[in-house]
Structures are given as structure tokens and as C-alpha cells.
Amino acid sequence: MRFSLVLALAVTVVSTSLAELPAGWSTNFNATLADAKTNHRPALVFFTASWCGPCKMMVRTTFTNEAMIKALGGFSYVAVDIDEQAPLARVHEITAVPTFKVLTSEGDAVTSTSGFQSPEVFVAWLTNAATDFTTAVARREEANRKLAEADALLQKGDDASVSSSVAVLFDLCAQREGEVTQTAITKLTALSQRQAAMLLAGMEHPRLSARIQAANLLRAKLGDSFDADPWADASTRQKFVAQWREKLAGGKP
């Protein structure tokens, strides 16, 4: 009898320590991303906690609203208890609950919002988020097309084609398109080991993020003597690039 009472109390403690969830919501993050990919739609993540009063209020009001339920039809959705899934919360840099994030099926963030949301406000946010998702997908598809273009140019192997490929890859670095950008950086890193001079063009890119990437890659290959300043004005950078082209053409590190 005493054991049964202790067990019942233990079950009660466990059950009250879990976050209150909206009806029908998944708690499996990876499965939700897979569902989003299969159905070509965004994933909505609700970061919550058992101790979060505004979260509970939204579950009981906002998430029972008919307009809200209808708006969710265009999403795959998952609730994440930040205490139960702390590593996942850290990856997504969650510092407050409730926080809502719309992700692509690859897990890249599209948009986010935090705090209590009334049904009207949240439905409007979801509508805008769906539009942002469509834009993000189109941008990703274009980035993948450019990456394929860069690959084709690299395979040709002649200087003109390689130079054109480098320009495309630095454009992708500037766009910061998640895995596509990382792939572009990997290709530029490999190229820096064979044809470092080709990456000097990155120092003249109009976007600072691309110039920083170029400077980092070239410094890793050429050493600290490559003291490029990505923030310098265009004229100064042009002179610097010309000097290094001459050095590398003469076989000087």
C-alpha cells in the first residue's frame, strides 16, 4: 500500500513537471522536420516549459481558436519542452519562452517571435511566416543552382572558368545560405591549397562577409604575412591584391 502511494506520488510529480501542450502537437522534432520535407511546407516549433504561465495561457486560448487551428494547416508543428530537450533549446539559442520558430525542413531558421500571442496576432504572424518561408525556399533553390554552376565551372579547369567559379562561390559566402554556404567555403578552402591566387578576387568583393572569408582562407594558406584588411576602402584593397598577385606569380609565399 505504501509502495503504491509512493508510486502514485512519483507519477504525479513527473506529470506536473512536463509542459502543457496543444492538442495534436508532435513532440518529436526530427519527425516533424521529416514531415515538413515530405509535404513541402514549413515547420513551426513551439519552445515551452512547465513553469511558463504565458505558454499555458496560449495552449488554452490561442491554440484552441478556430482561425488559429485553420492557419496551422499549412505547417508541420512540434512542441519542445526546453527542460526536457535542453540541448535542442541551446542549439536554437532559446532564451525565453514561449518562443516560436519557423524552420525549413533542413532546420534553418526562417523567422521567430517570443512572448504571449493572441489568436489574431499569431495568425497574422503565421501568415507572414509562410510568405517568408516561400521566399527562403526560392532563395535556397537559387543558391543550389549557383553551387551547381560553380561546380561545372571548376570541372572545366581553365583559369577563366575557375575565376568565374570563385566569383560565384564568394557570392554564396555573402548570402549565408546555411549548408550551401558551408559547401561553398569547403570548395574555396580546397582551391586555396592549389591556386591561392584565385582567391584574391574575394578581397575585392562588394560584400564584407565575402571579403572576411577570403582573408581568413588566404591567411590560413599564406600565413600571417597576409595581413589583409577586409574593412579597408576599395582603392587600398586593390593595391594590396595587386601586390599579392605579383608575389604569388613570382613564386613568393
Over the stretch 147-202, which tens digit does the pLDDT of each residue have?
A: 999 999 999 999 999 999 999 999 999 887 778 888 999 999 999 999 999 999 99
Sheet holding 76-81, edge to edge: 76-81, 43-48, 99-103, 109-114
Residue in 19, 21, 43, 55 annotated catalytic: 55
Answer yes or no: are the C-beta atoms of 154 and 161 closer than 8 Å.
yes
Distance (Å, rounded) from C-alpha 183 to C-alpha 122?
36
> Mean pLDDT, the chain, as a whole number?
90
Q: 55 catalytic, yes or no?
A: yes
DSSP state, 22? -
Q: 173 catalytic, yes or no?
A: no
Residue with cell 526536457: 84
Pairing of strands 43-48, 99-103: antiparallel
Distance (Å, rounded) from C-alpha 198 to C-alpha 192?
8
Largest distance between two CA atoms of the chain: 89
Residue in 19, 21, 49, 52 annotated catalytic: 52
The pLDDT score that the predictor gives to residue 6 is 39
DSSP state, 26? B
Q: How far is CA 90 from CA 25, 70, 80, 95, 233, in A?
A: 21, 30, 12, 9, 38
Over the stretch 27-81, which tens digit does the pLDDT of each residue have?
A: 999 999 999 999 999 999 999 999 999 999 999 999 999 999 999 999 999 999 9
The pLDDT score that the predictor gives to residue 252 is 60
Distance (Å, rounded) from C-alpha 31 to C-alpha 44?
12
The pLDDT score that the predictor gives to residue 253 is 57
